[in-house]
Amino acid sequence: MPTIEAPVGLKTELFIDGRWEDLPDQPRIQVHNPATGEVIASIPDASPEDGRRAVAAANAAQASFAAMSSRARADILLGAHKLLLDSKEELAAIMTAEMGKPLAEARGEIEYSAGYLQWYAQEGVRVQGSHAESPSGRGQIVLSREPVGVSLLITPWNFPLAMGARKIAPAIATGCAVVVKPAEKTPLTMLYLARLFEQAGAPSGTINVVTTSRSSALVAPLLGEGLIRHLSFTGSTFVGSKLHSQCSDHMIRTSLELGGNAPFIVFEDVDLDKAVTEITAAKMRNMGEACTAANRVLVHQSIADELTARLTDKFASLRVGNGLVEGTEIGPMIDDASVERIQSLVDDAVSRGADTRTGGAVPSGVGSFYPPTVLANVPRDARLMQEEIFGPVAPIIPFTDEDDAVALANDTIYGLAGYLMTNDLARAHRVARRLEVGMVGINSGIISDVAAPLGGVKASGIGREGGVLGIDEFLEYKYTFIPHQ
């Protein structure tokens, strides 16, 4: 593949113990632009020993970092917050080049990520315990909060900045040193963020970033040898389950945000234009490469045909192209393997009777593109009813009544997000209670908010990130009994 000039602010080394390490004798990872196939950077392919060195640096820094005042740690986050916003244009270009999302979405992700740095700067100084008189009258019960310790943060490729910021910010706020392993396909954004934290004054060893194509070989020893106290992972349920098992020997705390199969339920009383807008937001954000994306669009049978027609017109009008071109609305998928998987799900649905209204075929030319696709009358035994699409495909499944809609929505091993649209307030509350998910959007296709906890039930994970609850993942309770003299 031809190589193009790297952006000015690019960092392409490991960051361990406050030092940038190129490791020229190590194998290299080539980072590609999925819109063109071009190589944009080459970075070290870290070994298990590099991972151990990063964790050793974090452990060496942990005690002093935990002892640092919460206000001083908040100042680091606020400094990084300003630097991040000041770097928005440069970082957006890097993120788009390595991941593919349109520049407008990359800029939005940077602003969203900065919100986490600001939120946890404010939240970290409000961590409190409690004290109470023992009912026995023997003394006082004191509860205090302490950092859980060195944390391994594994971030995905689809939101390479936001997922890292959502994990790093509460770790810094509470005094937990971290080792970050970004996704092999999108490491450049995280390395850039590490440079900003370095500039903001994060002490050496408190933030370490290792890049590798051999994830299990690097991570397994860190878990198996008990070198960390907390694992935070965002990714597939399959990998998350394996990591959860590996954490059990040393009782390592786990925070897992895993796969989704979000239903988007549209009842018959809604405004159809509003429904199209919200479905598009829930489905096409990040080209559908989001675990909270609407995976199944469940529509009341009385409006299914009309809604399908309007959604088809909307999807057909979306501008597909290189995310670095202003005005692009839908960028490429992350790689060709993703395109092939999406096509296999579409082909399966069509073979079972689904009707392709727009899209549905891989375009010719360079880049890992897949067109916005609407499938009508999708049968309930299609694979995409149970498998996460992770792409710009909206399958329309008619339902008969509320009970049918809820049964369809809950017929999955996953339980991350769910959406519903209705003008009936009582029904909105009733259906929201019945959905087996961790998050519900009512008449809204976008539910992410830095002040809200994100996480799921069933096979969609353990724990919560973001909001007030997100800081709890990095804190332990300590009970102290003080007897009366």
Q: Within a 10 A sphere around the Cβ of 361, how many other Cβ atoms?
A: 12
**Quick one: which of 304, 302, 284 has its CA closest to 293?**
284
User: Which strand ranges, in their side-by-side order, compose the sheet holding 475-483?
Assistant: 130-133, 139-147, 475-483
Catalytic residue among 176, 278, 289, 291: 291
Specify the DSSP element, H or E, that contains 442.
Answer: strand 439-442
Catalytic residue among 109, 257, 289, 402: 257
Residue 242 has φ and ψ, to the nearest 5°, of: -65, -45
What is the rounded CA–CA span in Å between residue 6 and residue 274? 42
End-to-end CA distance of the chain, in Å?
76
CA–CA separation, 452 and 446 (whole Å): 12
Catalytic residue list contains 176:
no
Respond yes or no: is residue 257 known to be catalytic.
yes
Can you spell out the DSSP letters for 46-85?
A: --HHHHHHHHHHHHHHHHHHHHS-HHHHHHHHHHHHHHHH
Residue 246: name the closest of 227, 220, 228 by CA. Answer: 220
CB 347 within 8 A of CB 382: no
User: What is the C-alpha separation between 196 and 159, in angstroms, rounded?
Assistant: 18
The first and second tokens of residue 338, run together, are 């993703």
- Which residues are catalytically annotated? 257, 291
